[in-house]
């Protein structure tokens, strides 16, 4: 992680228009603040919203906390991502299940040496919401979008502390 090559993290939810773009921008914000050499992207397990900007409600609530999601565009998770990314973060258990299913397919097409990705929950090291799913806000009200922001901030702090420890031992 301390070399020139960035550590690459992919945040994954279902649609890639609410939770994972929010996680992408917030995790990037916290990594940049600590000057960590981490590249972050996001994707969805579905292809429901290809090339769409994040949901207007996600954009609005994020901007109220200073996070600009407007330039992001949705894309689907693909097998190549297991080759290119070091860490794939699932927003909930259903995403985790679907990521693991594609991971198995990746292992059928590529050797173990070629596959770089580890898979974990976004909330793995979260001090406030440990190993808890980020609830899908898409069909709910405003509070759901605030909850996503709260959890993304809290989970990102957990990951950044973890990345800093990794950096120290490398």
73 included as an active-site residue: no
- DSSP three-state, residue 14: coil
Q: Does 136 bind ligand 4NP (CB under 6 A)?
A: yes
Q: Does 133 bind ligand 4NP (CB under 6 A)?
A: no
With vertex at residue 133, the alpha carbon angle to CA 130 and CA 139, rounded to the nearest 5 degrees, is 145
Residues of this chain, 16-55, that bind ligand 4NP according to CB under 6 A:
16-19, 48
Instruction: Kindly provide the residue ranges of all beta strands, DSSP E only, lying in 3-135, ordered along the sequence.
Output: 7-13, 38-44, 87-90, 118-121
Among 9, 10, 11, 14, binds ligand 4NP (CB under 6 A): 14
3-state SS assignment for residue 25: helix
Question: Does residue 129 touch ligand 4NP according to CB under 6 A?
Answer: no
* DSSP-derived 3-state class of residue 123: coil
From the list 14-22, 104-112, 120-128, 152-160, the region that binds ligand 4NP by CB under 6 A is 14-22
Write down the least CB distance from residue 13 to ligand 4NP, Å: 4
Alpha carbon distance 146, 58 (integer Å): 9
Catalytic residue positions? 13, 19, 136
């Amino acid at each position: 992680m301390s070399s020139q090559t960035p550590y690459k993290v992919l945040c994954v939810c279902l649609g890639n228009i609410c939770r994972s773009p929010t996680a992408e921008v917030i995790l990037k914000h916290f990594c940049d603040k600590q000057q960590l050499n981490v590249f972050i992207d996001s994707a969805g397990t579905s292809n429901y919203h290809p090339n769409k900007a994040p949901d207007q409600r996600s954009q609005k609530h994020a901007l109220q906390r200073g996070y600009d999601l407007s330039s992001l565009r949705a894309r689907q998770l693909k097998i190549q991502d297991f080759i290119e990314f070091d860490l794939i973060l699932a927003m909930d258990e259903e995403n985790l299940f679907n990521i693991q299913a594609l991971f198995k397919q990746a292992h059928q097409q590529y050797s173990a040496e070629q596959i770089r990705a580890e898979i974990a929950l976004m909330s793995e090291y979260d001090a406030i919401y440990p190993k808890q799913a980020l609830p899908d806000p898409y069909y709910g009200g405003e509070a759901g979008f605030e909850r996503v922001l709260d959890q993304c901030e809290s989970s990102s702090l957990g990951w950044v502390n973890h990345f800093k420890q990794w950096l120290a031992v490398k």
